[in-house]
Chains A and B, each alone.
Chain A
């Protein structure tokens, strides 16, 4: 098997509460997997279990086919990065990056060399003698990443590493981190509650809700073929109709008097519209079960006008 990490029926209970119920998944070497889930779904706990910061209640964690359930955090070749960078304030940037290397028996010279190399890769080498408090949030995250990567971890765990940054910084840093991880070939497991982030970064997505994995697979596959209602709500866009799910790409808005060969699946009222990425989107309030649906249309509709929802899925 070339699975780098294999999680088998992992369970975690805390004070008689089930936080994770029988989680199984695996990540291949060099792959970036994104765990997506709403807050409270247990995704952070899952990362903490993998890092060894929380004992697991049942199941197995296999790293390179070896069971690491009882291996202490510091002995697992897994590095976890939290939401905040947690740079040690009494150490300079370079000292922070070299922090973990000291545990290995390396000469000071090679420690400095490795540290500087990694700072070069994260484009922070000009700040090597700066103390963390003088850095911006994005710079701090870069240093934290350098500190993690310099250890050459078998697996890197990222717990919403961009969520404490503002929107613009988040977008630029995300692309940059993603490219660096790919370039270094670091196997990564990223946790996020942002589905776009999961789609952009993840080679694969794992959807977690209520302590259970709902579905996992390539982002586009999961998006188009959600397996249950939870996934439909969390990840896909579309319309849930009496047991069947119609993805948004098959749906269209049509005015009531329009003649069409497509099947009418629902009716509703345009409640508002907005523009994004050069397209116009309409929010339609459906007649049945008080559902709101957002769809793009090239046709123009007025707010309040009654419309039909058509499907061309089975053509």
Chain B
């Protein structure tokens, strides 16, 4: 009886844990096996990646797009939440934020396309002004501006939804205390908001980063053929010709996976420590 009581949470967790570890564990394991070379030189595909100019460009463009999208989404989302969380206490307003959430990424990409492509609305309006439309492409462009815009439109509401409950949890009197002690907005942010918001911001940033760096849907539509982002390149390799580039695709994904796992662990640890500094976990 007693043993059942202490084991109960494990029973609750077991099904999903088995499912996830089996899926991820086995998936990565198979990918790992298939990424290895056959005769003697096991890491031949990994060394091939290292010497490839295309891979180097892919890493660079992927990091650039991901870091830009993540940072901008976080900053804009944080700004909007800070300014408007009092308005969002009435439930009505929250539904607006849900609009971009229920729209799939590739439809968001299409929205950016009809607004910012060379035949899009912005270009049409400019045509009325200057007679030729957009002077340079914003979509399917080398700078991946269209891709970044799409991610911002989709992820800012996500950031707001992650932060909103946190901001609504913060006791308003803390801010009053800092203000009456003569603190300014910056000090309110540093002493009242950051300890609460910081860890969540880190985690949210991590989730967005992890998603953007490995997502296929948007860059496949709004990217360019050279340089490609990770998933587009890998997806192409995966299906190319008679599958001869598959090990290369697997190898690149394994590298990305390892990097993501390690950096995730680091960031989650930092975030957890940060939380612990000010809040002891509740005991029942």
Contacts and interface: CB of A to CB of B under 8 A. Distances in A.
A and B touch in their complex, CB below 8 angstroms = yes
Interface of A: 55, 70
B5 interface: yes
A70 B1 CA distance: 7
A52 B2 CA distance: 11
A124 to B, nearest CB: 31
Interface in B1-47: 1-2, 5
A48 B1 CA distance: 17
- Per CB-CB distance, the 4 closest pairs between chain A and chain B, nearest first, are A70-B1, A55-B2, A55-B5, A70-B2
Interface residues of B, number: 3
Contacts of A70: 1-2
A55 B5 CA distance: 9
A55 B1 CA distance: 9
A70 B4 CA distance: 11
Contacts of B2: 55, 70
Contacts of A55: 2, 5
Q: Is the interface of B mostly helix, strand, loop or mixed?
A: helix
Interface of B: 1-2, 5
B282 to A, nearest CB: 14
Nearest to A69: B1
4 contacts: A55-B2, A55-B5, A70-B1, A70-B2
A294 B252 CA distance: 82
Contacts of B1: 70
B6 to A, nearest CB: 9
Nearest to B6: A55
Contacts of B5: 55
Nearest to B5: A55
A70 B5 CA distance: 11
A70 B2 CA distance: 8
A46 to B, nearest CB: 15
B1 to A, nearest CB: 5
B243 to A, nearest CB: 55
A77 B5 CA distance: 20
Nearest to A56: B2
B4 to A, nearest CB: 10
Nearest to A70: B1
A258 B171 CA distance: 59
B200 to A, nearest CB: 28
B191 to A, nearest CB: 30
A221 B214 CA distance: 76
A68 to B, nearest CB: 12
Nearest to A14: B283
A88 to B, nearest CB: 22
A4 B178 CA distance: 57
B283 to A, nearest CB: 8
A127 to B, nearest CB: 27
A218 to B, nearest CB: 35
A101 to B, nearest CB: 27
A55 B7 CA distance: 13
A45 to B, nearest CB: 10
Nearest to B2: A55
A220 to B, nearest CB: 37
